[in-house]
Amino acid sequence: MSDSPTVPGPLGAALCYLREHRQIDPRVDAISDNFAYVWISDLQKSGNGQAPGGWIRLPTAFPFGNPHGLVTIEPLMRKDGALVTDAHNPGHDMCKPVIDLGGAHYYSWTWKDCPPIQDPKDILGVVQWYERTIRNG
């Protein structure tokens, strides 16, 4: 496991807030192209037996920039066992920053038409949004 990169103040504050309110230890495993790959260990999946967890891509300028994409180790599955095909890019370049940690599947979801992010505390809703997108994927 690589050392966790240092993150700028507001993003760091957001991760602290997440740590307190979700009782997990969000881990920044990489920073690439101004995006932090933040491992969320309890990110809920839909498919039966799928282990939780995934890297959400947050701009280092968070909350002054929007999340973009998710990287997972295993492909996401729906409740009925079918693969989530929505915006699924296996082996995409976006996985490279965490490929040594197993990152292999990129889902190119964007924050389009979502409410504006204004506060580090909004990270809680961001993680929930990822879970909802996975569920409906």
Partner 1 sequence: MTTVGDAIQQDPDNKRQFEIFVGDVREIWDEAIVLARDIILRAGYKEPDKFVLEALDRRGGTPVAEFNPGVRVDLNDKDRKFFRVTPGGGGRS
Residues interacting with partner 1, by CB under 8 A?
A: 44, 68-69, 86-87, 108-115, 125-126, 128-129, 131-133, 135
- Both tokens assigned to 80: 């009925």
For the CB of residue 12, give the shortest distance to partner 1 in the complex, in Å. Answer: 22
Shortest distance, CB of residue 129 to partner 1, whole angstroms?
5
Q: Which is nearer to partner 1, 4 or 89 (CB)?
A: 89
For the chain, how far is it from start to end, CA to CA, in angstroms? 30
d(CA 75, CA 98): 15
For residues 126 and 67, the answer to whether their CB atoms sit within 8 Å is yes
Shortest Cβ 35–partner 1 spacing (Å): 13
Under DSSP, is residue 41 helix (H, G, I), strand (E, B) or coil? coil
- For residues 96 and 135, which CB has a smaller minimum distance to partner 1 in the complex? 135
Residue among 3 and 112 whose Cβ is closer to partner 1: 112
Residue closer to partner 1 by CB (options 42, 74) is 42
Sign of the CA dihedral with 48 first, then 86, 72, and 134 last: negative
Is residue 27 within a helix (H) or strand (E), and if so which, with residue range? Answer: strand 27-32
Smallest gap from Cβ 116 to partner 1, in A, equals: 9
Question: Nearest 5°: CA angle at 43, between 127 and 96?
Answer: 90
